[in-house]
Amino acid sequence: MEPDPAQPPVFDPCRRRFEDDLLGADVAAGLAAGLWRITGYAWPHVQVAFTAGDGNEFGMRLLVDGYPALAPAGQPWDLKANTLLPVDRWPVGGTAPQIFRKDWSVANSYAPYMACDRIALNGHPWATANPDRAWNPTRTLAFYLQQVHHELRAATIPAAQ
């Protein structure tokens, strides 16, 4: 999804950097490979549909203000209703329950328990203990998307009731 050309020119360096990365090759490659789709964008939020292991899509909304100094802050998102995704529709199977945790995540802004996510990274020593999985300002949106997609490769997405 392209940034809206009707919007005024971008002077916010965070937003400009984010929009460059949103249109970058790595995000496009994941799109072409069917790993994810960008379903909505209005600064400072972007909505993404990830393809899970069962072929169904799992939505997330990412807050990207402060990008890339700050990591994206993701939440499971109902892309149709445009609201937080209920916990009973979070991914199950594979490694997904270790990331979308019904204990920790619910108590922490619905954040995924990942070193690339702003909420989870804050308060954990992962930037130094797990640098290859952690966000740092040299990362791009594609890194975050790939980290989440990886955790969904063996997951199934419960159907809406």
**Which of 22, 114, 141, 157: binder of another protein (CB under 8 A)?**
114
- Distance between CA 88 and CA 71 in Å, rounded? 26
Q: Which of 82, 83, 130, 136 binds another protein (CB under 8 A)?
A: 130
How many chain residues bind another protein (CB under 8 A)?
30
Distance CA 131, CA 108 (A): 22
Nearest to another protein of 10, 154 (CB atom): 154
**Position among 4, 12, 28, 106 found at the interface with another protein (CB under 8 A):** 28
Nearest C-alpha neighbor of 50 from the set 35, 31, 72: 35
Three-state secondary structure call for residue 128: helix
Overall size of the chain counted in residues:
161
- Applying CB under 8 A, among 69, 129, 136, 160 the residue interacting with another protein is 129
Q: Which is nearer to another protein, 13 or 80 (CB)?
A: 13
The answer to the question of residue 137 lying near another protein (CB under 8 A) is no
| Residue 132 in the binding site for another protein (CB under 8 A) | yes
∠ at Cα 43 (60, 80), nearest 5°? 35
The answer to whether 124 contacts another protein (rule: CB under 8 A) is: yes
Q: How far apart (Å, rounded) are the C-alpha atoms in residues 10 and 73?
A: 22
Cα–Cα distance, 105 to 83 (Å, whole number): 16
Could you list the residues that contact another protein (CB under 8 A)?
A: 23-26, 28-33, 35, 94-95, 98, 114-115, 124, 126, 129-134, 142, 146, 149-150, 153-154
